[in-house]
Amino acid sequence: MAHWKTLRAAFAGFLLAVVVTGCDVNAVPRLDEQAKASWSQVLNQYQRRSDLIPNLVEAVRGYAKQEQETLVKVTEARAKATQMQLPADVTSNPQAFHEFEQNQAALGGALARLLVVAEQYPELKSNQNFLALQSQLEGTENRIAVARRDYIQAVQAYNTQIRTIPGRWVAAVLYPDAKPKETFTISEQAQEAPKVKF
């Protein structure tokens, strides 16, 4: 009889080990760390863009003195985006995340207007410093898009893990502080199809 109890206990232990191994109890923290690393890369690319802006503004300022309003808007948008204090929980705080996203979108819009202004000055368009800065900015915008895509994919994996079974059970028991993370959205203006007039 004691032999059967020992055998049952061993079988139950083996079954529990198989279930725990199959559940991948480390998936939640592993995916959380992946999302955090992807978020850091997003911030890194936004910082790179922010660092390029003063040089770009100065290059345009030398040629387009009458475009002060555009230059001021770019400078103000950059200041607002870089001075925002991000809380530690920004990726799981919808309000802070949305505010960050709006500030970065405003900065992107101001930069787009600055580049449109630059198109009106042939001498500026041929200036090597401006061309180099414009190229770096375009490359940075591409890096931002890639970093955002990677973050979105990491958040999708993490959120799926903590919302589906068995990951949901593992998270509830072992990682009760695991919260869904926010992801980027697109503004309503960007969702509208552009109007083409001939």
Q: Which pLDDT tens digit goes with each residue over 134-161?
A: 999 999 999 999 999 999 999 999 999 9
pLDDT at position 190 over 60: no
Listed residue (129, 114, 123) closest to 67, CA to CA: 114
DSSP reduced 3-state for 64: coil
Does residue 55 contact residue 133 with C-beta atoms inside 8 Å?
Answer: yes
Domain boundaries, the chain: 26-182
Does residue 150 contact residue 43 with C-beta atoms inside 8 Å?
Answer: no
Query: For residue 187, what pLDDT band results from cuts at 50, 70 and 90?
Result: low
Tokens for 168, please give them: 């949901």
Distance of CA 118 to the CA centre of its chain: 28
Tokens for 76, please give them: 């103000």
Residue 18 Cα distances to 11, 21, 24, 42, angstroms: 10, 5, 10, 38
- The structure's pTM equals 0.81
Amino acid at 170: V
Q: Tokens 């180099």 map to which residue?
A: 132
| Span 31-54, average pLDDT | 95
H or E stretch including 5?
Answer: helix 2-23
DSSP reduced 3-state for 181: coil
> In CATH terms, is domain 26-182 a member of 1.20.1440.20?
yes
Q: Provide the pLDDT for residue 197.
A: 47
What CA–CA distance (Å, rounded) separates 62 from 58? 6
| Span 102-125, average pLDDT | 89
pLDDT digits (tens, 9 = 90+) for 60-91: 888 877 788 888 899 999 999 999 999 999 99
| Span 8-22, average pLDDT | 64
Question: Percentage of the chain with pLDDT > 90?
Answer: 59
CA dihedral 31, 33, 37, 43 (to 10 degrees): 100
Please tell me the least confidently modeled range out of 25-34, 72-81, 123-132, 138-147. Answer: 123-132
